[in-house]
Structure 1
Amino acid sequence: MPTGAKLVGSIVFFAIGYYAAMQAKLTFEEGTPATYFNITIAIIGFLQGWMVVGRRAGAGFVFAASNGMRAGAQIALFGLALFALRTMFLRSMDLRYSAPGEALTEAMELFLQYFQQSLTPGIWGVLLLGGIIGGIVTEIAGRAWR
């Protein structure tokens, strides 16, 4: 059921995801295809704001801040997993792998490689600090629209 907290949470975390994706694009190697990267991460943020933060609004500011941090971390991890799997599927279309297990192993290696690449204060600062602020803003919206 739509609520004001879910609406505000989804909009705030959409913006957090978009800005974090812009920070992440700064770490990409030259020539990395990232056509829909920003909007994809922003949609993950939208869904996290709606389903995680907005749904749990109303339990207090400390709980809201921790939910915001959780949503920020989930945006990063879901985004990393999605793009590692995307890269694996693109490579598998070029017949790069001889077995499914090899493709899954490569996807895990890509996930770890992308995770190490993302360990910058710009990306995680936006996700965690923005998540805390977004969680508190969502809590305020939840209290205002009870």
Structure 2
Amino acid sequence: MPTAGRLMGAIAFAALAFYLSELYKPLMPEDANPGRLSEINALVGALVGWVIAGKRAGSGTRSAIGYGLTTAAAVIFWCLFVHAFNEMIDRALQVSYNGGMEAVVAVFDLMLEFAQPMLTQSYVIAAVIAALAAGLITELFGQRYP
């Protein structure tokens, strides 16, 4: 059921995903084409924010910190999965894999490869601060407009 908390969760975590994507672009290899990276990640962030953070909105400030961090981690996971899956499909169409199982394993290898540039102190700090802010904003709307 749509609530203000779910709507704000979707908006806040879409903004978080867009922001983190923009921070990620300079960390990508020079030959990589980001394409619609930020827009796709914002859509994933909206869906995850609606489902995870929006459902928990209105449960208190302590909970907001927890579900803000949890939702941000889920957003990052699903964004990595979506892009890794897309890359695997592109490679599979070029017959780069010997079988289906090799392609499935490649998705998780690609996720690790794509996550590597994020493991910098400044990126992690920005992600944590943005997650806390998105969680607290979602909570504010969840409490104020139940």
With normalisation by structure 2, the TM-score equals 0.92
- Cα distance in 1 for partners of 2:46, 2:127 equals 13
Could you tell me which residue of structure 1 aligns to residue 105 of structure 2? 105
1:72 aligns with 2:72: yes
Equivalences for 1:121-140 in 2 at 5 Å? 121-140=121-140
Question: 2:17 and 2:96 mapped to 1: Cα distance?
Answer: 32
Correspondences of 1:43-58 after superposition (within 5 Å)? 43-58=43-58
**Which shows bigger deviation, 63-72 or 43-52?**
43-52
1:36 and 1:86 mapped to 2: Cα distance? 12
Structure 2, unaligned stretches of length 5 or more?
none
> Is the partner of 2:2 in helix, strand or coil?
coil
Do the aligned residues in 2 keep the contact of 1:73 with 1:127 (CA within 8 Å)?
no
Q: How many residues align?
A: 146
Same amino acid, percent of matched pairs: 27
Query: Is 1:141 matched up with 2:134?
Result: no
Q: Deviations over 1:46-91 (max 9, x none)?
A: 1122111111111110111110001111111111111111111101
Separation (CA, whole Å) in 2 of partners of 1:18 and 1:126: 13
TM-score by length of 1: 0.92
Q: CA separation in 2, counterparts of 1:112 and 1:41?
A: 17
Structure 1 residues not aligned, in runs of 5+ = none
Q: Is the 8 A contact 1:24 1:118 kept in 2?
A: yes
